[in-house]
Amino acid sequence: MSAPAPTRTQILHMYKDFIRNANKIQNYNFRHYFLRRAKESFRENKNVQDPKKVNELLTEAEKDLGVLKRQSIISNMYTFDKLVVEPLKKR
């Protein structure tokens, strides 16, 4: 017997976790890469209806989220100079 298909709420929560963790990455280029990849991945698979395929995609997303969380922690251990394209924080 297979696991029940994840709900829309679970999938949206996973998407928000991706965005939240990608925003924690200090390096501008990596941060925008992970944001872009998360958005593209979820958009690409938004019309998948097969519960088995949705479970597979969610399992893969959970693995990727684990990698992203670890990478954001590592990213915070190092400091980077701001790039010219990065907006300055207002005081």
Instruction: Classify each residue of 45-73 as buried b or exposed e, where b means 16 or more C-beta atoms within 10 Å of its C-beta.
Output: eeeeeeeeebeebbeebeebbeebeebbe
pLDDT given at position 13:
95
Residue 37 lies in a domain: yes
pLDDT given at position 91:
53
pLDDT given at position 12:
93
Residue 91 lies in a domain: no
Non-local (6+) Cβ contacts of 44 within 8 A are none
pLDDT given at position 53:
92
The structural domain count of the chain equals: 1
Residue 44 lies in a domain: yes
Cβ-in-10-Å burial (0-12, 13-18, 19+) of 21 comes to buried
Residue 56 lies in a domain: yes
pTM for the predicted model, two decimal places: 0.78
Residue 89 lies in a domain: no
Residue 2 lies in a domain: no
Helix spans in the chain (H): 8-22, 28-44, 51-75
pLDDT given at position 27:
87
Residue with tokens 């207002």: 90
Residue 38 lies in a domain: yes
Residue-range definition of the domain harbouring residue 19: 8-77
Mean pLDDT by 10 residues, the chain (91 residues): 76 94 90 94 91 92 94 84 74 53
